[in-house]
Structure 1
Amino acid sequence: MDKELDKLFSEPAFSNRSGRINPSGILSPAEEVKYLDTASLELLEKSFRTWTDEAVRMDVRISRKRITLIFLLIRYTGARLGEILSIDETSMIDPDKLTVRLGFSGIDKEENGIASGSRIVEIPAFLAAELSNAFSMTENAGLKGHFFYLDPAHVRRKFYERAEACGLLREFGNPSAIRRSRAIELIRNNIPLPMVQKILGHSTSSLTSAYIDFSKEDLKQVLRNYVDKESRRKTSARNSFYGLITRINKGDIQSEVEITTYSGHKITSVITNESLERLMFREKSPATAEIKAPWVVVSKDVEEPMSSASNRLNGKVSRIIKGSITTEVVVSLSDGTDVCALVTEQGRVDLDIVEGVDVWVMFSAFSVILNAD
């Protein structure tokens, strides 16, 4: 393997030094940590929304809406209550970029456009829209610039009331419990620990990791899942390519993503921009490319065929499983990866494809399915 590939695959994203502490989706919160699971958070959110919608008078509705939005910001950013109550919405919330700036004191030194004591946290699109609508609705209510300036004790009381209203213990309505719940929710969804640390504004990762723990059974299952996954890669599952994303060409609707495998094969896929963001693909992120057998074309050309197919790989036919109508042709690549093609038996006969001959396997970028590793 050349030096460039060697350097690429020694990066932290590949060598599992990215801080992912929950590679198998298994996690046991530390016993002393009080938190709500996602279902309970959704229940609490529904309680706040119902409470707001039940208000008849406009001034009461606005008051309740402000508290509901404070809850939603803590629930989706993991911020401290004090951070939310000190937000100046005119300068610290950007609905277009879907971001909120937290921990800004107003006197922090700016570096690269961001205050040294602050952090930028992304928020869901629906929350950004709700915030914009609320700011517009209260534009003439004298709240501009201090929409979130409310008494902390009053906010806490309303949080406790909402928790009790939906059958939860009062203590789980505590803003700190909601903040911890968001942290655990993110970690359980495989967000790297250092990233969760930055989102929460913790000074050290030990503060973040204090929320979680692994039981002996968890540890066994995590290791078993990792070893099984590693074994599947080593045995070169057919029509499956594991590697790092080495290039992303983003278009207006779809993006072209290139994966380079450990042995140097380059696989190109075209996916939607929505999928690109949902799977959080970035350059040097690990990913697996899969291709279904009917989408693979076999060519017996000696030289690389002239074709519109983005992916063209050379190998040797290692096995043929004949059928009356269709036939499976298994081609082994130089690194031992098997690519299975499903062709018509008549087509195989016409091309005289037999075991041991050199062939090319080709498939379109649109036929490659990408999975986040």
Structure 2
Amino acid sequence: MKYLDSSQLENLTATFHAWMGRSNRPDVRLSRARVWLIYLLLRHCGAKLGEILALDDRTDFDFNAGVVRLGQCRDEDALPREVKLPNLVVEELLRRFDDPAFLGLRGTIFRMDGGYVRRKFYERGTECGLPKELSNPRALRHSRAVELLRNGVPLTIVQTILGHGSANLTAHYLSFTEQDVRNLVSYYIHKEARMKTSARNAFTGQVAQVRTGKILSEVSLTTPRGHHVVAVITNESLEKLGIREGMLVTATIKAPLVVLVKNDEAPTSSMRNRFFGHIARINEGTISAEVVVTVDEETEVCALITDESVRRLDLKVGDPIWGMFKAFSVVLTVE
């Protein structure tokens, strides 16, 4: 079973959105907007392509309830059902349906050739570096199922969303390799950490070493993903928290304290904590910008820098980059 992880899904979505707006021809823009809507529904509904292409945009959506009615096509082995849509998808559908360019297509907005849609999926996947086996509607269906299960949605609910007649069909999404199990453990540990702190950067791990000086102590911890974080705290804080080797602690770092260095090789710096990855997204404001760096499948580092720094460093999504912070910037929390 092939499926995309969260970072790959974000990159594919961003690639589709950018592709949609690149043409100046009205007819091409309209065609790309239709493919974009098909992508959004596949991404968030766990539906089959045939189910989306069979939709009637006039009758199969209930925007008051925020649902789409699926499973009406005759050539697909899927049960009729209603699937809840995220608010952002509802807003995008309403905006497109109200666009005058779509008026002549009402009722048939999703009636596109399946081969053409698949071809556009392969092209966008290639554009963002995905292999062909991950750049197709089936992979999106698998990805949504795995995403829901990993977020704690009960198996029977995922079964209903996918339109499976039996829970046994849905259960194969729970067959994971040993590496998948390790990734899941890491995911839930980090998810718990994020729920208990407002800091954007949270790393939960086991204390590997404690070095104590006259005033300060250095605490080194190792995360389930194998990353190392070093914190320097006062001896008083060490004693108060009861930190010792082998126990679980959470290290948090505020985003403004993370320094970005655009370099393929490890930079020369006194900073003890260094994470190498690629820029997953950049959220720019009028003065500041939030830069999220994907270190691995389950680890991200978020930095808050000025918009001028984004321009000066010429930061773009996909760029290799180092996210670094001082040991004195790390705050330790014990359960």
Paired residue for 2:13?
A: 45
1:118 to 80, 87, 111: 80
Q: Which residue of 1 aligns with 2:244?
A: none
Match of residue 177 from structure 1: 139
Q: Deviations over 1:233-278 (max 9, x none)?
A: xxxxxxxxxxxxxxxxxxxxxxxxxxxxxxxxxxxxxxxxxxxxxx
Find 2:91's aligned residue among 116, 129, 132.
129
Distance 1:97 1:170, change over 3 A: same
- Unpaired segments ≥5 residues, structure 1: 1-32, 107-115, 224-373
Is this contact kept in 2: 1:100–1:121, CA < 8 A? yes
Q: 1:91 to 1:214 in 2, by over 3 A?
A: same
Q: Does 1:72 align with 2:40?
A: yes
Say whether the 8 Å CA contact 2:150–2:184 is kept in structure 1.
no
Which structure has more RCO (C-alpha within 8 Å, separation ≥ 6)? 1
Within the candidate set 18, 24, 27, 1:56 is matched to: 24
Aligned residue in 2 for 1:165: 127
- Contact 1:74 / 1:175 at 8 angstroms: preserved in 2? yes
Q: Does structure 2 retain, via aligned residues, the 8 Å contact 1:105–1:117?
A: no
Q: By how many angstroms is 1:215 displaced?
A: 5.0
The one of 59, 65, 70 aligned to 1:97: 65
Q: Deviations over 1:50-102 (max 9, x none)?
A: 00111212221111010011011010000000000000011101222211000
Q: For the residues of structure 2 that align with 1:150 and 1:197, how far apart are their CA atoms?
A: 27
- Please say if residues 30 and 101 of structure 2, whose CA atoms lie closer than 8 Å, have aligned partners that are also in contact: no
Q: Distance in 2 between matches of 1:217 and 1:63?
A: 40
Structure 1 pair 137/216, CA: closer, same or farther in 2 (3 Å)? Answer: closer
What stretches of structure 1 move > 2 A for 4+ residues in a row? 138-141, 214-223
Alignment of 1:231-270 (within 5 A): none
How many Å apart are 1:214 and its aligned residue? 4.3
Task: Tell me the secondary structure at the aligned position of residue 96 of structure 1.
Answer: coil
- Write the deviation string for residues 89-146 of structure 1: whole angstroms up to 9, x where unpaired: 111012222110001259xxxxxxxxx9510000011111111111111466420111
1:38 and 1:222 map into 2 onto residues whose CA distance is: 13
AA paired with 1:75? R
SS of the aligned residue for 1:62 comes to helix
CA distance in 1, matches of 2:181, 2:103: 55
Aligned to 1:196: 158
TM-score, reference length from structure 1: 0.46
Let me know the Cα RMSD of the aligned residues. Answer: 2.6
Question: In 1, distance between residues paired with 2:113 and 2:158?
Answer: 28
**What do residues 126-168 of structure 1 show as CA deviations (whole Å, max 9, x unaligned)?**
1111111111114664201110000000000000000000011
Aligned residues: 183
SS of the residue aligned with 2:82? strand
Structure 2 gaps, min length 5: 186-335
User: How many percent identity over aligned positions?
Assistant: 45
Give the Cα separation in 1 of the matches to 2:45 and 2:171: 17
Measured against aligned partners, the alpha-carbon deviations of 1:6-63 in whole angstroms (never above 9, x if no partner) come to xxxxxxxxxxxxxxxxxxxxxxxxxxx1110111111100000000111212221111
Give the structure with higher Rg (CA).
1
